[in-house]
Amino acid sequence: MAIDCHAQAVCANMPSTNREAIICCFFKIHMAQSYIVLCIGDSHTAGFPYYDPMMGGNPESSYQFWLKQELLRIHPDADYQLINEGMCGDTARGIVIRLQHALNTASYHLVILAGGTNDLGMIEEKQIFNNLKPGYEACREKGLPVIAPGIPPISIDGYETRVEALNNKIKTFAARSQDMLFADWFTALKDEHGHLRDIYDSGDGVHLSVAGYKCIGLLMAPLVKSSFTQTAINNEKHL
């Protein structure tokens, strides 16, 4: 596979060691590769109400469907395996326990860890974040990049500030952490009142419609691409 003219021009003006790194990185990103992404969380990861990874249903009612479509549009030669480990009703603590087990039994290139919605009626935002944090740290210990979405809007008065408070904790932690990106599901899906927009609402004010899952799937595609690109660059630095 030939390197494009722009890459050749850039490399020509670099020291030989840098040129080799850029060329190697180019090949890693653009040649056919297989990427395994663990998507773990609650019903928003599963695809409820129209899809469940165990029972099936409409696959378009899951962010993984739209995320994979967009990734393949960007890099059609790559193979993306998006493992849906969403479980309806699961809490942040339960999600992290399942994540820790998954990390000890299989290998992945990236983790998308989302959770916290089911905890809001039981515990405070600080404790929810503290329950999620060991999951982020477990990925870091394995050398895995993480995408950490905030929780989506909830169409119940009074929950807007709590959702934003939790999301801000996740966002701040991600900004201070290496190999961790924040996905702002809340801003992408909210209306002017901080509730779930009608077009993205499956009907219960909490779970997403197909349009909602498409929205967050497309939102995360550039984050996944950025994460894989940064990983390739980091790997080059350690050669």
Dihedral angle sign, alpha carbons of residues 177, 222, 90, 160? positive
Domain check: are 6 and 62 in the same one?
no
Question: Residues 3, 67: one domain?
Answer: no
pLDDT in tens, 173-185: 999 999 999 999 9
- Do 43 and 88 lie in one domain? The reply is yes
Identify whether residues 16 and 83 lie together within a single domain.
no
Instruction: State whether 64 and 161 are in the same domain.
Output: yes
Do 38 and 25 belong together in one domain? no
**What stretch of H or E contains 144?**
none
Q: Residue 35: name the closest of 134, 137, 133, 145 by CA.
A: 145
Q: How many structural domains compose the chain? A: 2
Per-residue pLDDT reduced to its tens digit, 68-82: 999 999 999 999 999
Mean model confidence pLDDT for the chain: 88
Do 14 and 39 reside in the same domain of the chain? no
* Secondary element (H or E) of residue 79: strand 79-86
Q: What is the pLDDT of residues 6-61, one digit of tens each?
A: 333 433 444 444 544 544 454 444 445 899 999 999 999 999 999 999 999 999 99
Asked if 47 and 23 sit in the same domain, the reply is: no
Within this chain, do residues 21 and 78 fall inside the same structural domain, yes or no? no
pTM passes above 0.75: yes
Structural domain that includes position 185? 33-231
